[in-house]
Amino acid sequence: MAQTRTGALVMIPLAEAQERVLAGCGILDEVTLAVGDARGLVTTETVVAPELVPPFDNTAMDGFAVRSADVVDAPVTLNIAGTIAAGVPPDITVGAGQAVRIMTGAVIPPGADAVVMVELTETSPDGEEVTVAQSVPAGNHIRGAGEDLTVGQTVFGPGEVLTPGHLGVLTSLGMYQVKVRPKARVGVMSTGDELVEGPQPLEMGQIRDSNRHTLLALLAEAGCEPVDLGSMADDEAGIAAGIRAGVEKCDALLTSGGVSMGDYDYVKKVLEEIGDMSWMQVAIKPAKPLAFGLVEGIPVFGLPGNPVSSMVSFELFARPGLRKMMGHSPDTWHRQRVTGRVAQRLRRRPDGKTHFARVRVEYADGEFLVRSAGGQGSHQLSAMAAADALAVLPDGVGLDEGEPVSLLVLR
């Protein structure tokens, strides 16, 4: 039986388990997408500016285009030769003693070398003349062609995570498609005879399936495309069929439940049979058991069933693996680590494992103050929901008030 064999397994350190998982997560092939579909994705191309931004010299202010030499002895009065709005080619040349009314973004007309903002001018009642109150230097309020980007300039390069700003830059250059690593399509399947869905009263022994909803949301938050594969009974053939169907249409799969030492823990058994699987006992709490393997080359994360464990396991294994698949750089695979200070003792018992305590973090007087977010049982999802971070408690009796504590930031 699997449990006697695996029962003899020793716990492996977290870093080693993470390495095994990451080694099984291959980077997805690049695709070309419309910029509207590319937010948050990692680009695979070097973007080189094919044109100038801005494309022409234009005014940063509403006001008057003038010759700076004409306004050296301001106040001076100039003749208004016309008006130039944004979006049209200038049809006026500014001659000596002349000014042209000009709107923000409009092309600087020939002859002019400066703009006086409207606040520093007064137009005569007949609209024929303008008095400029102050002298302005050449170039005043003129935004030069190419001041943002010049032709041939490298704008950003492979590996960049496309933010709204990057998408704006692309479109400012007339580029509406971009090469990226795609979102990973990730299937989520719950397992357990006890699971039900819906608001109906529970029968004795039943619980509501929460993991699937948590994991689907975690995937969306991680920039993946979640695929709901429903819930499976504790039935070997059914779970095998579900996993086979899942890997057909997904880049990765998450299952929850069925990976520990119970009689009906079929997920690890199935993965052992149909996949190239490694089942691990990781020296952490929560989330000690993890089944991870490749089925038809697709990574399958057999996460533990306890609600907090499945979330912590997602954070420590699935999220980093999926980020790797989507082309993110290694230094961003894991959640950000910061150091906080224990504001209220965080107890634990020595057991050879690293504990990840669900904590609230408050920023005060230049430091992160850390307190328990509530009950620390792996079934107590409400404390996980309330947590801002996972506090890393090394093996031992915990951390006392005032001690530094390493935090994995969840939000």
Residue of 115, 130, 195, 322 that binds ligand AMP (CB under 6 A):
195
284: helix, coil or strand?
strand
Residue 251 found at the interface with ligand AMP (CB under 6 A): no
286 is in the binding site of which of ligand AMP, Mg ion, none (Cβ under 5 to 8 A by kind)?
none
Q: Which is nearer to ligand AMP, 304 or 320 (CB)?
A: 304
Residue 257 found at the interface with Mg ion (CB under 5 A): yes
Residue 190 found at the interface with ligand AMP (CB under 6 A): yes
CA separation for the pair 89, 86 (Å, rounded): 9
Residue of 24, 109, 182, 192 that binds Mg ion (CB under 5 A):
192
CB of 332 to ligand AMP, least distance (A): 29
CB of 207 to ligand AMP, least distance (A): 5
How many CB atoms sit inside 10 A of residue 353's CB? Answer: 22
CB of 191 to ligand AMP, least distance (A): 6
CB of 233 to Mg ion, least distance (A): 10
Q: Of 14, 19, 21, 20, which is closest to residue 281 (Cα–Cα)?
A: 14
Residue 255 found at the interface with ligand AMP (CB under 6 A): no
Q: Two tokens at 329?
A: 């750089």
Q: Two tokens at 56?
A: 């022409």
Give the containing element (helix H, strand E) for 363: strand 354-364
Q: Two tokens at 267?
A: 């997920």
Residue 257 found at the interface with ligand AMP (CB under 6 A): yes
Q: What is the largest CA-CA distance in the chain?
A: 99
168: phi > 0 → left, psi -120 to 50 → alpha, else beta; which? Answer: alpha
Residue of 58, 59, 211, 313 that binds ligand AMP (CB under 6 A):
211
- With CB atoms as reference, the residue minimizing the distance to ligand AMP is 305
CA separation for the pair 410, 357 (Å, rounded): 12
209 is in the binding site of which of Mg ion, ligand AMP, none (Cβ under 5 to 8 A by kind)?
ligand AMP
211 is in the binding site of which of Mg ion, ligand AMP, none (Cβ under 5 to 8 A by kind)?
ligand AMP
Sequence letter at residue 263: D
Q: Are 70 and 117 in contact (CB under 8 A)?
A: no
Residues that bind ligand AMP in the complex, under the rule CB under 6 A? 190, 192, 194-195, 207, 209-212, 256-260, 262, 265, 304-307
